[in-house]
Structure formats: C-alpha cells, structure tokens
C-alpha cells in the first residue's frame, strides 16, 4: 500500500453511500431529523463524494489525508442482515475510493454490533483483505453500549487485529434521550458529547479494558468532555464505591482513559480545550480532525494553524499521532 501524503491528517471525516442513505430514508419515512442521520440537506453531496471532488477540496483547504468513516448512525439502526450486507458494501466502496487515491485517504470499517459475530468476520475482512485502518461505531446500538457482552466479539476482533475503535456520537440512547434532546439547539454541542462520553465511561465501569487490555479507542471532540472531568471522576470514584460497597476497578478511571483512549479535535480546534487536553493527556494522545463536511474544513484548518502549539506539538497532533494510531 502506498504511503500517505505528508502533511496534515484529518481523522474524523464523514462519507455516505447511496444505499445506506436509501435504507435510512426508508426507515425514517423520508423525514430528516437528528435521529435519521443524513438523508437530506446541505451536507449530502459532500458526504457522497469520496473521489475527485473531495480530493480537490482537501487540496484547497490544506489537508493531506482524510480518514473516512461512514456518517452516523451508520448501519446501527438496521436489522442484523441488512446491517451486515450494507457494511460489506460500504467497506468495498471505501476500499475502492482508497485504491483510487491511496496517498490521500484511509478508512474505518463498518461492522454491525447487532450482528457481532458475523460483524467480527467482516471487520477481519475489511482490515486484512481491504486494508482499512480501524472500526467505526456510532455510539449506542439499540440503546445498548459496548459494555454489553453481546457486542464483545467485535471488540475481541478489533483487539486481535490491533486496530482502533472510533467511538462516534449519534443521538442519545433511550433513558437519557428525553432531557438531552429537549433543548433545541444544544443537541450536537452538548447532548452528543454526553451520550458518547457516557458510553466510554460505561466501558470503563464494566471492566471492558480489563477484559481487553490491548483494546484502543478514539474519541472525537477532544474526548467528549471526559479529559476535563478526569480529576473529579477519580476523586469521587472511590468515595462512591465505598458508599455502595461495590467492588472497585483495579485501576483509577483516569488510568484506563489515558492508557486506552486517544482523542481527536473534530470541530473542537479551540485553544483553551486544546491546551487542557494536552496538559491532561499529553500531546501524543491528541489528533487533528475537521469533522468534514459537518464543519467547514477550511475554517478548521485555519483554527488549527492559529492554535498556541509548539512546532513539535503541531507535528505530532497534525500528523504523527494519526500515522501511529491508524497504521498509515
């Protein structure tokens, strides 16, 4: 496989294929919403373009490489058979796009958690045969998180293949949905982060990383607020376990986060949270992402260029860490 072009690597960049859009449209009755995923609207043309037009936009905006991922909710709203078939089709199309532009694209495989055993086989095919670089999971599947043992064959496969699981937001799961989505205008900026951060904490709390000690996860939006709460979480965790009498984890929650999670900026290219993330996690645990096309790629590149970073931090966050994490 050709080496990717040197320069800025953007690691959370969405795409769609028409067949997934059609199935999402069918089950949503054709009504676009925050739950349907992108079935219409201003992003659709850019999501469907994983060819020359996208590369031209990358050239204009100063992005060397995009890591492409099927946009939320991906295949996770479908019945298992449909999800598996569309995962295979999506991965084939993604591999074709990468083969056409091998220096410019990497990609994350779609594999259905709701058909985890067959999905693990598809993940293996996507990595070993198609040459993809990780797994995309759009948070909950049927309102369940990856701490549910039914999904563990997929985690076992990701660990064995040594590829990261990119945990991406979608609308919140039932149980936390009503309160979070009742505030019009705050769904993407707040509710998605709460949903995805909660998902990761479920994995820590359930001992997923003790069971899968080499499992690697990527969280966007500078860690879905968790890095900024780690000291508070560590401080209150032993207190609460003492109150309940439950058996505590073998390590502090922050140890699991620092050992297993790398964060991406994805539309959070702001100076204060970036400096905080570097202070909490270290510059080797942060990667650049534009969150294209949901964010304007040129603006995110400009914001990243304006951040208060040393040359070494900029190189690691903008390129080196992505090459290491995704095996580029």
From the candidates 46, 61, 147, 291, give the one annotated as an active-site residue.
291
Cross-strand partners of 9: 65
Terminal-residue alpha carbon distance, the chain: 9
Query: Is there a cis peptide before residue 23, judged by omega within 30 degrees of 0?
Result: no
Q: Which strands form 65-70's sheet, in the order they lie side by side?
A: 9-15, 65-70, 105-107
Task: Count H helices and E strands in the chain, helices first.
Answer: 16, 9
Contact present, 131 and 155 (Cβ < 8 Å): no
Task: Supply angle C-alpha 104, 1, 316, rounded to 5.
Answer: 55
Question: What letters, b where the CB count within 10 A reaches 16 and e where it falls short, cover 43-70?
Answer: ebebbbbbeeebbebbeebebbbbbbbb
247 CB-near residues (< 8 Å, 6+ apart): 241
Q: How many CB atoms lie within 10 A of CB 302?
A: 13
Chain Cα centroid distance, residue 292 = 13
Tokens of 85: 């078939």
In degrees and rounded to multiples of 5, residue 180 shows phi and psi of -75, -35
291 given a catalytic annotation: yes
Helix crossing, 253-260 with 230-244: angle to 10°? 140
Q: Which residues are catalytic?
A: 291
């Amino acid at each position: 496989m050709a080496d990717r072009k040197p320069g800025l690597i953007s690691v959370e960049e969405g795409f769609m294929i028409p067949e997934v859009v059609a199935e999402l449209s069918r089950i949503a009755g054709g009504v676009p919403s925050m739950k349907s995923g992108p079935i219409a609207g201003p992003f659709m043309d850019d999501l469907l373009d994983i060819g020359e037009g996208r590369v031209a936009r990358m050239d204009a905006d100063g992005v060397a490489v995009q890591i492409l991922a099927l946009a939320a909710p991906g295949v996770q709203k479908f019945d298992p058979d449909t999800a598996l078939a569309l995962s295979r089709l999506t991965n084939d199309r993604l591999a074709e796009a990468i083969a056409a532009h091998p220096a410019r694209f990497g990609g994350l495989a779609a594999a259905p958690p709701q058909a985890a055993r067959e999905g693990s086989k598809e993940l293996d095919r996507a990595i070993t045969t198609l040459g993809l670089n990780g797994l995309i999971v759009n948070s909950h599947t049927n309102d369940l998180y990856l701490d549910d043992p039914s999904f563990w064959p997929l985690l076992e496969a990701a660990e064995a293949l040594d590829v990261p699981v990119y945990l991406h937001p979608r609308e919140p799961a039932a149980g936390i949905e009503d309160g979070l989505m009742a505030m019009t205008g705050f769904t993407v900026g707040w509710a998605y982060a709460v949903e995805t951060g909660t998902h990761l904490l479920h994995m820590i709390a359930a001992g997923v990383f003790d069971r899968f000690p080499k499992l690697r996860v990527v969280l966007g939006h500078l860690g879905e607020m968790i890095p900024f709460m780690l000291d508070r979480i560590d401080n209150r965790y032993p207190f609460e376990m003492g109150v309940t009498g439950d058996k505590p984890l073998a390590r502090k929650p922050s140890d699991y986060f620092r050992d297993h999670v790398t964060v991406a900026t994805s539309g959070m290219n702001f100076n204060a949270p970036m400096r905080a993330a570097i202070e909490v996690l270290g510059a080797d645990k942060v990667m650049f992402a534009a969150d294209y096309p949901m964010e304007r790629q040129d603006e995110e590149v400009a914001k990243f260029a304006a951040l208060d970073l040393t040359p070494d931090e900029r190189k690691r966050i903008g390129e080196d860490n992505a090459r290491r994490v995704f095996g580029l």
